[in-house]
Amino acid sequence: MPQLIPFFFLNQIVITFVILFSVIYILSKYVLPSSLLTQVLRTYITKLSKKNV
Amino acid sequence: MASKAASVAVDFSRIYTSLGLGKETIASLQAFRKRHNEAQRLAHQYNNQPTTVDFAHYRSILKNQAIIDEAEKVLKEFKPVTYDVNAHVKAIETFEAKAVAKAKETEEKIDVELKELQATLANIEQSRPFEQLTLDDVAKAHPRIIETVETMLKKGKWTVPGYKEKFGDLNVM
């Protein structure tokens, strides 16, 4: 039944979306905030050490 | 008597030097001590003075006996004025209570300060070299940084302005 062929890709679509959203979630919740914290802290510490010199 | 014993037992030079009192307190303490010494000296001086009058002696050397009789009468009738010292004692007691309360307050303050200092000392002793610091350590020491990061995240700012210019990045392209 050729009209059913699109549905053969449904599992791929589901998996793709699951992976996409979990990657977005992990990035926005854990990875990027920690990198932002690193950047902020690095800026802060550099300012501190320059102030002390 | 108890107060006398206490005043003997108090080692003022130790109080001045070891308790770390303020200048004002030491000055008032010295003034109080001076006043006390003066009062003691005066009391001693007056205690040693004779309190009786030898009327027979005056009778033998003075011709006017009437005046001696009169003087004797006046002396017999003389009664020292009694002072009500209760008010003074009360004032002293309130002052003492105040001083004790203040001392306790100071003691509590010093205790708190001491605890803080000990905490600081422990902090210093346990501190690690700069190379071993982690992000979490620094962030814990300055909670304001975490707040800043959270507000930046809420506003959708994922980078620090000027960071790339200052420190560069690892992008190849």
Q: CB distance A41–B167 less than 8 Å?
A: no
- Dihedral sign (CA A9, A14, A15, A21): positive
Does the pLDDT value for residue B4 go beyond 80?
no
- With beta carbons under 8 A apart, name residues in chain A contacting B138: 41, 44-45
Tokens for B148, please give them.
């800043």
B1-10 — which CB contacts under 8 Å span 24+ positions?
A: B7/B36
Please classify residue A40 by burial: count the beta carbons closer than 10 Å to its beta carbon, then call 0-12 exposed, 13-18 middle and 19+ buried.
buried
Q: What is the pLDDT of residue B1?
A: 46
Does B166 contact A46 at a Cβ distance shorter than 8 Å?
yes
Q: How far apart are CA B106 and CA B129, in angstroms?
A: 37
> Can you give the pLDDT at residue B5?
54
pTM higher than 0.80: no
Q: Which of A10, A32, A22, A24 has the alpha carbon at shortest distance from B150?
A: A32
| B107-127 residue pLDDT tens | 999 999 999 999 999 988 888
Give the DSSP H/E element, type plus range, for residue B112: helix B86-126
Q: Can you tell me whether residue A32 is helix, strand or coil?
A: helix
DSSP assignment, residue A27? I
Integer CA distances (angstroms), B85 to B36, B42, B88, B96, B97, in order: 17, 18, 5, 16, 18
Beta-carbon neighbour count of residue B140 at 10 Å?
A: 11
Q: Do A38 and B145 touch (CB under 8 A)?
A: no
Q: How far is CA B119 from CA B109, B112, B163, in A?
A: 15, 11, 35
Q: Do B55 and B72 touch, CB atoms closer than 8 A? A: yes
Query: What percent of chain A shows pLDDT beyond 70?
Result: 96
B51 — phi, psi (to 5°)? -110, 0
> B157 to chain A: which residues are within 8 Å by CB?
36
Whether residues B152 and A43 touch (CB distance < 8 A) is answered with: no
pLDDT tens for B64-99 read: 888 888 888 888 888 888 888 899 999 999 999 999
Under an 8 Å CB criterion, which residues of B touch A?
135, 138-139, 142, 145-146, 148-149, 152-153, 157-160, 162-163, 166-167
Cα B34 from chain centroid? Answer: 18
